[in-house]
Amino acid sequence: MRLTHLGGPTVLVELDGWRILTDPTFDPPGRRYGFGWGTSSRKTEGPALGLAEVEPVDVVLLSHDHHADNLDDAGREMLTRAGVVLTTRAGARRVAGGGDVRGLQSGEETVVRAADGRTLTVRATPCRHGPPLSRPIVGPVVGFAVRVGDQRRTALWMTGDTVLYGALRTAAEELDVDVALVHAGKVRFPTTGPLRYSMDGSDAVDLISTLRPRVAVPVHYEGWSHFSEPPAHLHEAIDAAPADVRERVVWLDRGVPQEV
């Protein structure tokens, strides 16, 4: 598997001949985006590569469409040229893909087929993008567990934007994962005080310890003003983790393809 981290949650995954893109964000930096209920965030870093360097894309794994740090304007436009777009059920009603947009809720699976017969089986996994009872406000989010062909092992798990909670722990206990993309950053907003909307470094360590993937890749912890945990703190949490966790973590340099 080859991974190229473009910034934020956006990763190009090259797997068994497939080009898979997670949460497309390609707008330039500087703009502030509203997230609803008085919350907003400014994009502080642009993508490491442009769309021309990333396309064509066979499959987009879109954890949710309603927050610009997971799908911005340029990312939304590129969906019209993607092969298959997988997202939430609500998101599938709102986005315009290249003709094959599929909405999933946690626990549902779909099979993506290539013209040459290769297949990917993708299962939506649980996310809660905030504290208890926040889902009606923050909206639905899913992660994705991807299997290749008839393999039983999960080749790729993208956690999506989520706090660490019971259903996510259960998924981590049940999945047998090769490579995990772990969304972190400890999202907070001034208007909602101490409430957190994504995992911090300690949560990431806890999740990786439970999941025990071959490789864990932290993503979506930089590039936006609503991340309250500086990247250095995430690095410190990983560095202080037990060896069994620390040795599984791979840090990606933005824009640089890396075999994992």
Contact 209, 243 (CB under 8 A): no
Residue 97 has pLDDT above 80, yes or no: no
Topology, domain 2-250: Metallo-beta-lactamase; Chain A (3.60.15)
Q: What is the pLDDT of residue 36?
A: 85
The Cα–Cα gap between 167 and 165 comes to: 6
Q: What is the pLDDT of residue 191?
A: 87
The Cα–Cα gap between 172 and 125 comes to: 10
Which residues, including other chains, have CB under 8 Å from residue 151's CB and lie 6 or more apart?
Answer: none
Q: What is the pTM of this model?
A: 0.97
Q: What is the pLDDT of residue 221?
A: 98
User: pLDDT tens digit string along 167-225?
Assistant: 999 999 999 999 999 999 999 999 899 999 999 999 999 999 999 999 999 999 999 99
Residue by residue, DSSP assigns 64-109 as -SSSTTTS-HHHHHHGGG-SEEEEEHHHHHH---SS-EEEE-TT-E
